[in-house]
Amino acid sequence: MFKYERRTHNDISFHEDEVKLAKTMMDKLRTTVEFLYYLMEHRGKLSFTMIMLSTDDLKLEHLLQKWKRKTDVLIEIDKINNVYVIICQSTDKEGGKKFAEILMSNITMHGGTVTYCVEAELTSTEHSIQEVIFNMVEKYIYIKQEQKSNQVFFTKFQEKVKDEDRDVMYHNSF
């Protein structure tokens, strides 16, 4: 199980199991997200929401399989630590939040005690798959460190600013 010691926001080191979680997420999600990105680029305006969650005292594997829709993709990230990702196609931020809340409510009703949940909505392929996955892992690690359980946390992606003149040190505007 992940054990965390308190660290400051300036500390850039991560525990071994946190780094391994990021690697496992990339290994298990990359191809699926690549396919969804392909569909977004070639089939028009599609979006999807990813929900990453874990809980103590309850095995999620069979329950999540039962609760998800046929179009949702359930991916086991870490069976031992009970970490899963559900990719919900054609689902926006609000729909993902409602579904995550329903999942968390059901988990509690079935005996889950401490649940961690991170959601991300993808409406474009502007951000790299690596950036999306690492952003979710970083948020997940943060909420576990801070013991912010039984809430749905949303990951936000910074808009990429195109600054064509960022390397210009002097510009004569005559």
121-147: per-residue pLDDT in tens?
Answer: 999 999 999 999 999 999 999 999 999
Q: What is the CA radius of gyration of the chain?
A: 18
- CA dist 7 and 14 (Å) reads 9
Stretch 51-79: mean pLDDT: 94
What pTM was computed for the model? Answer: 0.82
Helix (H) or strand (E) holding 69, with range, is none
Q: 34-38, 49-53, 153-157 — which is least confidently predicted?
A: 153-157
pLDDT at 8: 55
Stretch 78-86: mean pLDDT: 95
- CA dist 50 and 121 (Å) reads 6
Q: Which fold has domain 16-154?
A: Alpha-Beta Plaits (3.30.70)
| Cα–Cα separations (whole angstroms), residue 84 to 15, 43, 60, 97, 116 | 20, 27, 8, 16, 11
Strand order in the sheet with 83-89: 72-78, 83-89, 48-55, 115-122, 152-154
Stretch 103-112: mean pLDDT: 94
Confidence of residue 111 (pLDDT cuts 50, 70, 90): very high
pLDDT at 171: 47
Confidence of residue 35 (pLDDT cuts 50, 70, 90): very high
E strand residue ranges, the chain: 48-55, 72-78, 83-89, 115-122, 152-154
Confidence of residue 168 (pLDDT cuts 50, 70, 90): low
